[in-house]
Amino acid sequence: MLCEDCGRNRAVVHITQIGPDGKIEKNLCERCAAKYGEFLMENQKHRNVSMNDFLKGVFSAGAQGEKPQQEKVTELVCPNCGMSYRDFQQTGKIGCSVCYATFRRQLEPLLRRIHGSSTHSGKIPHRTGGTLTMKHTIESLRSSLKECVAQEEYEKAAELRDKIRQLEHELMETEGGESDGRQ
Amino acid sequence: MAVNELLRSSSLSWLAASGKDSDVVLSSRVRLARNFKEIPFPNRADFNQLTAVRLQAEKLLPGIAADLGQAFDLLDLERITPLQRDVLIEKQLISRNFIQNPQHRIAFITADRATSIMVNEEDHLRIQCMAPGLDLDTPFARASHIDDMVESQVDIAFDEKMGYLTSCPTNLGTGLRASVLLHLPGLVFTRNIQSIMNISPQLGLAIRSVYGDETESVGNLFQISNQLTLGFSEQEILENLKTAVMEIVSHERQARKALALYMKERLEDEVWRSYGTLRYARLLSEKEVLELLSKVRLGIDLKLINEVAPDCYAEILISSRTSYLQNLAENENLSKHEIDRLRAEHVRNALLAHTRSQEAPK
């Protein structure tokens, strides 16, 4: 009899394994049996539960929250890659970059569930990022302005206010075009 | 052929025992996930689209290579054997996920083996950079620089609100996964590892044992990485991981100190027995090598063993792996017995090669 796993060598070991799928009995060669033996070197390889299973659950749960609209949601299809919301629920994977725009409304609550946030605050690509860098700078200046006012440091606040005005003006001019704002 | 050298070499620059805190931290790694705009992600792309991504990546490569001052080896996954793919996984140069569909999957790996770019893995580009010891900034700077170069030529999938768009929502935002490889024999022997495992998720970090299963870690090697990628800046993510690692390092050192203090003789005995077995055994299994090697490394780090240099650790770690040995012997059908014999031979040679000359005892 040949080994049931590799099909190449003579089976010399009979194993019985009890796992999540019930009882498995196999006749194996020495080498393949060794893999079942002491321990598994790569635990991912035979992992029964994957991150995707959980994501699938998250996707499905997200749809249930909006029951009245559920029919409509599952019929949404990405114009770029043809992925439907139902596909997400099955695979737990996104199809293409356009999907994120197509399913934005459905994805946002899920992102918050995974990451605790749905707003990116890291690196921004120089070219594709457009005026985003400037917007972020303005945003952070505004929050420090608020802090200054709260601390009653009005001179500093005035400085910041002028800076924000200047940046907003620049932003108006470059809007639509490309900016080379600093990283 | 360079690729042959890549598979046969038993050293990896980023596993060298030279970096910061290298008594506990073996290596640091940073990975960026990037996708080209509008082309479907690899799991949904057809062969034409995968080829387009591949050609685009190949076109970008010369510029990146010139800028880094490093030559890249190109690996076409379809053109190498399954065994060779396994060797690359063992060396952590590519991921297991990457080999499931080898068609149109290629990897670029630098001559120093510290940078690898996988094309058409889960995302179009996976830029991976490694460094020895605890040093996340160097690899991140390098990966980010490569990212900048790619972005200057190709439109990258990016959304103002959601950041870099990725195939799996768990990578969305920064697309950054930073991880650190730790050797924690002290925490394992003093049975403190479980608390580290329990605390890490609360800090947004995932920790897993590299070899072995859930119930038993073999070789005391652990990998810790960030879980969240969205809502934090890259610097925050790296800083969070770094702080946690430093904490673990100090606990590990305390545990080692306690071991050396309260059970010095037993520890010495264990260390030297392990060294003796590795030095003279004729048959060694993968598991046995990992277990003994961990103790020898502990002995070297605690200066109980001085006659062998710490770099023997990385060399044995690589050259004792089954696929590596099979590839070296150019025989996939070696019996377990034959592999164990080969393995013991490699371990003996590696220890001999790293033995310090007697006249320079510190």
Give yes or no for a contact between B124 and B44, defined as CB atoms under 8 angstroms apart.
no
Q: Are strands B25-34 and B176-183 parallel, antiparallel or unpaired?
A: antiparallel
Question: Residue A44: what pLDDT?
Answer: 41
B251 versus A141: which is more confidently predicted? B251
Among partner residues A40, A92, A95, which is closest to B44 by beta-carbon distance?
A95
Question: Residue B241: what pLDDT?
Answer: 96
Q: Are strands B72-76 and B106-110 parallel, antiparallel or unpaired?
A: antiparallel
Q: Quote the minimal CA–CA distance from A83 to chain B in Å.
A: 9
Interchain contact, A41 vs B333, CB within 8 Å:
no
Block means of pLDDT (10 residues each) for chain A, 183 residues, are: 81 75 77 62 49 68 49 72 82 86 85 84 77 76 86 88 86 59 39
Among partner residues A41, A94, A126, which is closest to B167 by beta-carbon distance?
A94
B133 versus B360: which is more confidently predicted? B133
Per-residue pLDDT tens digits for A99-140: 888 888 888 888 888 888 888 888 888 776 666 777 777 888
- Please check the confidence at residue B67 and state whether its pLDDT lies above 70: yes
Among partner residues B147, B167, B211, which is closest to A93 by beta-carbon distance?
B167
Model ipTM? Answer: 0.77
Question: Among positive and negative, which fits the CA dihedral A71, A77, A78, A83?
Answer: positive
Q: Which residues in B284-320 are b (16+ Cβ under 10 Å) and which e?
A: bbbbbbbbbbbbbbbbbbbebbeebebbbbbbbbbbb
Interchain contact, A116 vs B165, CB within 8 Å:
no
Can you read off the two tokens belonging to residue A96? 């293409």
Interchain contact, B156 vs A123, CB within 8 Å:
no
* Least-confidence region, from A46-55, B39-48, B131-140: A46-55
Within 10 angstroms of residue A50's Cβ, the number of other Cβ atoms is 11
Write a three-state SS string for chain B. Answer: CHHHHHHHCCCCHHHCCCCCCCCCEEEEEEEEEECECCCCCCCCCCHHHHHHHHHHHHHHHHHHHHHHCCCEEEEEHHHCCHHHHHHHHHCCCCCHHHHCCCCCCEEEEECCCCEEEEECCCCCEEEEEEEECCCCHHHHHHHHHHHHHHHHHCCECEECCCEECCCCHHHCECCEEEEEEEECHHHHHCCCHHHHHHHHHHHCEEEEECCECCCCECCCEEEEEECCCCCCCHHHHHHHHHHHHHHHHHHHHHHHHHHHHHCHHHHHHHHHHHHHHHHHCCCCCHHHHHHHHHHHHHHHHCCCCCCECCCHHHHHHHHCCHHHHHHHHCCCCCCHHHHHHHHHHHHHHHHHHCECCCCCCC
Q: Quick one: DSSP state of residue A126? A: T
Q: Quote the minimal CA–CA distance from B119 to chain A in Å.
A: 16
Per-residue pLDDT tens digits for B138-189: 999 999 999 999 999 999 999 888 899 999 989 999 999 999 999 999 999 9
Per-residue pLDDT tens digits for B191-228: 899 899 899 988 899 999 998 766 678 999 999 999 99
Q: Quick one: DSSP state of residue A17? A: E
In angstroms, the CA B122 to CA B239 distance is 26
The reported pTM is 0.81
Question: Residue A85: what pLDDT?
Answer: 81
- Please check the confidence at residue B117 and state whether its pLDDT lies above 90: yes
What is the CA B346 to chain-centroid distance, rounded?
21
Instruction: Give the chain B residue whose CA is nearest to the CA of A122.
Output: B233
Instruction: Give the chain B residue whose CA is nearest to the CA of A111.
Output: B169
* Vertex B6 angle, CA B1 and B7, to 5°: 100
Interchain contact, A80 vs B40, CB within 8 Å:
yes
Question: Residue A68: what pLDDT?
Answer: 46
Using an 8 Å CB-CB cutoff, list chain B residues near A94. 41, 165-169
Say how many CB pairs under 8 Å bridge A and B: 149
Question: Residue A180: what pLDDT?
Answer: 44
Using an 8 Å CB-CB cutoff, list chain A residues near B229. 115
Give B223's strand partners. Answer: B181, B208
Q: How confident is the model at residue B361 (pLDDT cuts 50, 70, 90)?
A: very low
Residue carrying the six token digits 């620049």: A170
Interchain contact, B287 vs A8, CB within 8 Å:
no
Among partner residues A39, A96, A110, which is closest to B213 by beta-carbon distance?
A39
Interchain contact, B233 vs A31, CB within 8 Å:
no
Q: Quote the minimal CA–CA distance from B245 to chain A in Å.
A: 21
In 3D, which of A102, A56, A166 has the Cα closest to residue B165? A102
